[in-house]
Structure 1
């Protein structure tokens, strides 16, 4: 019996705003605004629907008449100072982390994960959405290490509770590992490693053990260490650091 030729699946189509964000030139929200304003064309025709289906790499997309292609992929790390909001814009007009990039001439970049306003330390940025998604994946992303100053000397039962986990506001929270780094007369420093990322996870975990946070510094993500990078300064990651943080998926597993 003759074997039928293999039939290739049709190319995947995605919403126009999503495709623009995947090209690394803007956020999906910003793309949707450009589309609604009539600034985006597909094959020369103005499209105002952010969900208009297109095949990435197969159709000509232009913004303000200029054809767009995937730009240079940027991956960098910042030593976030305390007091800055991890956001491109803040509705309360507070200073954001983007102040640290003023005058740098960088393309559009987005935070890879978050640090709250009162936290400091290692924060990643990129215009590579697939890379960022692998890092922030709660199941497969790299572990994140924090040095945390707490407002009293924790007893062994408090540390054990951080490892056992608590339920807060319906969420199960726990630390992957906890180590007492040093202690003074009234406070102590802990090293806490997380293997998942939930909103204000460390602060909520410590509050459940009646421990208040005086300082919270992220010192590493996977094998990438903050090191001696000065506060408020940033640097690009090397290709080796990019690959080590988030290896690309095997070709047969890509969708």
Structure 2
């Protein structure tokens, strides 16, 4: 039997309750939707079941599992993601996730700002400021992401030029904004690759199309923010001077 529709609140600008819970930093959007459908969310003392039920966050009382929800303190973290760790709150295969690295930190819910696949490593941002996160991940901002990439083989100048020109794969044009050969050995080489957009497995697909296997892929910078000396598996808070330049994007 469908739930009776609750009367909609009157007043100012309203958004769906699941979106508001996410914006307030209580949980992710998908977690909020599940909680609402399960009857775990109340608005002004009434249980709601529709994730799109409109609320005005500034005027109405929201609670999740009986605990009042208010705007959480904005938190911005940089984490050095190890290889083999999944960027997910939970993994159906039981693999370790980045949230295991934060388990005992006493932090509120934080969402990843962009992704790194399981085999990739390096700089990952997490925050409960969804507006700030969207400004970083939105493709139209063209924020540079810098990677150090080890490949099997020794790419020459023609390969680097092809990476800049781009390779068409289906509907995607895969290309680098900048690329530089850092060092080369007998069997492999390291390159610095800069992207200003990020498609799924972008660098791996681009290099595979040119005949090169990626051995390691490490993100070392997002815009002006550097991974620096942050140890693998460790995290730190960003200071306001680091947050602000990314917010401008």
Q: Does 1:85 align with 2:93?
A: no
Measure, in 1, the Cα distance between the counterparts of 2:45 and 2:217: 51
Between the aligned partners of 1:153 and 1:179, the Cα distance in structure 2 is: 12
Report what 2:115 is aligned to.
114
Alignment partners' CA distance in 1, 2:23 and 2:63 = 15
- Any idea what SS the aligned residue of 1:188 has? strand
Gaps of 5+ in 1: 1-9, 249-255
Q: Is structure 2 residue 122 aligned with structure 1 residue 146?
A: no
1:166 aligned onto 2:160: no
Q: Normalising to structure 1: TM-score of the pair?
A: 0.91
CA distance in 1, matches of 2:141, 2:49: 36
How many Å separate the matches in 1 of 2:13 and 2:106? 34
Deviations along 1:29-64, one digit per CA (max 9) or x if unpaired, are 111122122221112211111110112212221223
* CA drift at 1:137: 0.8
For the residue of structure 1 that corresponds to 2:108, the secondary structure is: coil
Query: Structure 2 regions of 5+ residues with no counterpart?
Result: 1-10
1:37 aligns with 2:38: yes
Partner of 1:15: 16
In 2, are the aligned partners of 1:150 and 1:211 still within 8 Å (CA)? yes
When normalised by structure 2's length, the TM-score is: 0.93
Whether the aligned pair in 2 keeps the contact of 1:141 and 1:246 (CA below 8 Å) is no
> Aligned pair in 2 of structure 1 residues 16, 89: CA closer, same or farther (>3 Å)?
same
Aligned residue number for residue 5 of structure 1: none
Matching residue of 1:100: 101
Deviation at 1:96, TM superposition (A): 0.9
Encode CA deviations 1:47-92: one digit per residue, 9 max, x unaligned.
Answer: 1111101122122212233321101111000011001011111111
Residues matched between the structures, number: 239
Cα deviation code 1:163-186 (max 9, x no counterpart): 001111321111000001111111
SS in 2 for 1:179: strand
User: 1:108 Cα shift?
Assistant: 0.5
Check the 8 A contact 1:158/1:209 in 2, yes or no: yes
1:181 aligns with 2:182: yes
* Cα distance per residue 1:215-255 (max 9 Å; x no partner): 1000000111001111100000001101111228xxxxxxx
Change (3 A) 1:141 1:100: farther
Say what the alpha-carbon RMSD is for the aligned residues.
1.3
SS at match of 1:148: strand
What are the within-5 Å matches in structure 2 for residues 105-254 of structure 1? 105-247=106-248
Deviation of 1:124 after TM superposition, in Å, equals 0.5
Aligned residue for 1:139, secondary structure, equals helix
- Residue 141 of structure 1 and its aligned partner are, at CA, apart by 4.7
